[in-house]
Amino acid sequence: MIADGITKFCEWGFPITRGDIRLLDKFPGPEWFYKFLQRQNILTERFAQNIKRCRANISKEIITEYFQNLEESLDGVEPTHIVNYDETNLTDDPGSKRVERIMDVSKSSTSVMMAITAAGHL
């Protein structure tokens, strides 16, 4: 099922990285990734090829096709099973405008993580 989703994203022009694949299964170790590739013989790891911006132009038709494909793949999926997750980092770093001083703790930061379903549940 994961391999089918990865293949579909690549067909749509959105290649998936090693990290993306590992993230799909709660971020296991690198060895898991290589064994996953061995089990899924339809997948191969390749280097991305850079293309010029003019060749990567996006059009209304491409966007429309993407959302049609997305709608088709999400058909029948409960809104409570569609989740958007985001993380941001807040820091108290004053930057370089202040004079440095010696202290035990120099900076602190807080990560804020949020997830929300398509049904609107946090």
Q: pTM higher than 0.75, yes or no?
A: no
pLDDT 10s digits, 90-116: 877 655 555 455 556 666 778 889 999
Coil, helix or strand for 94?
Answer: coil
Please name the residues in contact with 43: beta carbons below 8 A apart, sequence gap of 6 or more. 3, 6, 7, 37
pLDDT of residue 46: 77
Paired with 83 in beta bridges are: 117
Place 119 in a pLDDT band, splitting at 50, 70 and 90: very high
Give the Cα separation of 58 and 56 in Å (integer): 6
pLDDT of residue 107: 64
pLDDT of residue 25: 63
Tokens of 22: 């590992």
The more confidently predicted of residues 76 and 8 is 76
Residue 55 CB-density burial (10 A; 0-12 exposed, 13-18 middle, 19+ buried): exposed
- Tell me if 109 sits within 8 A of 89, measured CB to CB: yes
Give the Cα separation of 82 and 69 in Å (integer): 16
pLDDT 10s digits, 23-77: 766 777 878 888 888 888 888 887 767 777 776 777 888 889 989 999 998 999 9
pLDDT of residue 11: 81
